[in-house]
Structure 1
Amino acid sequence: MNQIKKECLVINASGEDRVGLVEKLTQQVTAAGCNIEQSRMSVLGGQFALIMLITGGQEALSALEKQLPSAGESLGLSLIHKWTHKKAARDAFIPYNVEVVALDHPGIVHKLAQFFSINGINIEELETEAYPAPHTGSPMFAVHITVGVPAGDSIARLREGFMAYCDDLNLDASIEPARS
């Protein structure tokens, strides 16, 4: 049986947060006959931010694409979209979760990204949060990263190098295999 190749559309949405934005935007996707395969949504400050990977037939995606400008206008959202394809299978890699906590200061995310880039490791997901420390109220910063470690790399050597790097930067860190 021949399977029709699905095309993909990535939609980025941002705007002033309010109740109902996700429902109204996802209704547009569903009404066009498309499917949300992956998405991330967050409210940062008073701003709503969403990124979605939409799949469907060529006609359905084209219809959705034509509706996006008016949908964005009616919802008060900036919508940016781009045609793409599903990510091709890479060489085997093993997902690892990285957790870092430290007193908040500029440059933490950059330094972590630099370490992984230098070591040829892709950052698959990254999430940060600033919060006051319990009892003292000191400004703290937490980072959660999912990285893809090539299967042939020595995780012991990577872990040792990462922990030493974090110690030098006064970051409390861990790197462990991701659990599904």
Structure 2
Amino acid sequence: MLPLGCKSAEWTLPRPLASREPSHCMRASDGPRPLIDVVLRGPPDIASPADIARRSSSCSVRACRSSTPTAPWMSSSPPIGHRTATRDALVVPKTTLWPVSHLVISVVGRDGPGIVATLTGVLMDQGCNLEDGAMTILGGHFAMMMLVETPPALDGPTLDGPALEAALSGPATARGLAVSARPVSEAVAPEGDGEAWTVSVHGADHPGIVHRVTSSLAEAGANVVGMTTRAVGQPDDPVYVMVLDVILPTATDRGALEDRLDGLAQELAVACVVHPAQPDIL
């Protein structure tokens, strides 16, 4: 006895599913087989087994079972060009995604309100993600550096430095700014073991302070990871202030380094203080 919805010697899928994708099941002349194993033909975006069961309520496949699976495609490998109605058959087409890249953008020029908003608006329009950045005023001039991640592309390489620089040059030039965008290597130097310390220097301004102090730190194996310098006070009697963020190797003799910096401070006529760095709120 044929299940409801089937006619002659062939079981057909309900019209809602049959009209969506070409499909068939085994004919009666091919031998007995459990009709629960519906064989589907078509692209991999065919409906899921749960969807098939729900939409096939007018033709119960449970009513047509046979204990002898003798059909050719009941073996472990289905015939070429057929896909069984299992979840493994739902294959998502592969799409080539080009890797993202990082660019360093530097901006220098006349200071004024709205510079950051203007430049970051261009980055947003280009689909770039601002990952890191620093901005300061150097002698009344605007200076900023940014590390941005360019968006991945589906049909070609990602946004490169010249293209992003061209997009930024219009608004930057209108505000008297010079802008450049350069690629940065994705390889990042591994972080070594060490402790964060802060070195503060202040005193009479004269050439050579930065070089002499950082040279002493380099001889001790310290890595300078941040630096802020500024001349404060009266123009005719400026006081030079420098703050260095450094990473000291764990094997560094702190006492010997402090003695070395104390001697250098006396030679340069400045005050130098070394202390553990405060926790960064960022």
User: Which segment drifts farther, 144-153 or 62-71?
Assistant: 62-71
Q: Radius of gyration: which is bigger?
A: 2
What are the within-5 Å matches in structure 2 for residues 68-87 of structure 1? Answer: 68-84=168-184, 85=186, 87=188
User: Which segment drifts farther, 103-112 or 18-27?
Assistant: 103-112
Select which of 117, 122, 125 maps to 1:31: 125
Aligned to 1:139: 238
Matched, 1:45 2:139: yes
Matched, 1:129 2:230: yes
User: Which segment drifts farther, 105-114 or 85-94?
Assistant: 85-94
The answer to whether the Cα contact below 8 Å between 2:224 and 2:245 also exists between their aligned partners in 1 is: yes
* 1:83 to 1:169, Cα distance in 2 relative to 1, 3 A: same
The answer to whether the Cα contact below 8 Å between 2:213 and 2:264 also exists between their aligned partners in 1 is: no
Q: TM-score, normalised by structure 1?
A: 0.83
Per the alignment, in what secondary structure is the counterpart of residue 160 of structure 1? Answer: helix
Q: Give structure 2 stretches of 5+ with no counterpart.
A: 1-97
Matched, 1:165 2:259: no
Q: Offset at 1:127?
A: 0.8
What are the within-5 Å matches in structure 2 for residues 9-20 of structure 1? Answer: 9-20=103-114
Q: Offset at 1:163?
A: 2.1
Superposition CA RMSD, Å: 2.4
User: Which segment drifts farther, 78-87 or 120-129?
Assistant: 78-87
* 1:61 to 1:123, Cα distance in 2 relative to 1, 3 A: farther
Matched, 1:100 2:194: no
* 1:149 to 1:12, Cα distance in 2 relative to 1, 3 A: same
Q: Offset at 1:141?
A: 0.8
Aligned to 1:156: 255
Encode CA deviations 1:97-147: one digit per residue, 9 max, x unaligned. 1111101122211211222233332211111111127xxx73211101111
Counterpart of 1:55 in structure 2: which amino acid? E
Counterpart of 1:167 in structure 2: which amino acid? Q
Encode CA deviations 1:44-64: one digit per residue, 9 max, x unaligned. 233111111112434464363
* 1:93 to 1:66, Cα distance in 2 relative to 1, 3 A: farther
The answer to whether the Cα contact below 8 Å between 1:96 and 1:176 also exists between their aligned partners in 2 is: yes
Counterpart of 1:146 in structure 2: which amino acid? D
Select which of 202, 206, 213 maps to 1:112: 213
> C-alpha separation between the residues in 1 aligned to 2:248 and 2:174?
43
> C-alpha separation between the residues in 2 aligned to 1:26 and 1:164?
46
Q: TM-score, normalised by structure 2?
A: 0.55
Q: Give structure 1 stretches of 5+ with no counterpart.
A: none
The answer to whether the Cα contact below 8 Å between 2:104 and 2:181 also exists between their aligned partners in 1 is: yes
User: Which segment drifts farther, 160-169 or 56-65?
Assistant: 56-65
* 1:76 to 1:92, Cα distance in 2 relative to 1, 3 A: same
Aligned to 2:274: 175
* 1:174 to 1:6, Cα distance in 2 relative to 1, 3 A: farther
> C-alpha separation between the residues in 2 aligned to 1:130 and 1:169?
16
Per the alignment, in what secondary structure is the counterpart of residue 241 of structure 2? Answer: strand
